[in-house]
Amino acid sequence: MPHQHTSWVRESYLYGCDEQPWVKAKSIFPILSLQKRARIFQHIGSKPIGWLLFQRTNPYCERRVIYLEDGWTRQSCYTWHGCKFIVQETFLPAFQQYIENQQA
């Protein structure tokens, strides 16, 4: 694969107050966009991306919501200090069950 097409991908599960994960998250950072101020994402470790993304900034975001086999999914394409990347969050059945129980 050409270098300009490679990406850093981060996948994780996010938990609420249950033992089952609520969200399956995937972030895709094209390697070439991780320059200048965006280099910090390479060293984020286990911190949430939003911890850096929304710290004193309001990044441009294009968003769409789709339904996948795993659950409904929100895909967000952010532009942050010239860095473009995608965050995809799939809300799993355990989250839906929690919401339904709160409304009952």
Residue 22 and residue 16 in contact, taking contact as beta carbons nearer than 8 Å:
yes
Q: Which of 101, 82, 97, 95 is nearest to 37 (CA)?
A: 82
User: Could you tell me the pTM of the whole model?
Assistant: 0.78
Tell me what pLDDT residue 4 has. 62
Domain ranges of the chain: 5-101
Q: Identify the pLDDT of residue 2.
A: 60
Task: Give me the pLDDT at residue 54, please.
Answer: 81
Give the separation between CA 40 and CA 74, rounded to whole angstroms: 24
pLDDT tens for the chain, residues 1 to 104: 566 678 888 899 999 887 899 999 998 888 777 777 777 777 777 778 777 778 767 888 999 999 888 778 999 999 888 788 899 999 999 998 898 888 87
What topology does CATH give the domain 5-101? Answer: Chorismate lyase (3.40.1410)
Kindly state the tokens that stand for 76.
Answer: 């967000």
**Side chain identity at residue 97, one-letter code:** Q
Q: What is the pLDDT of residue 74?
A: 94
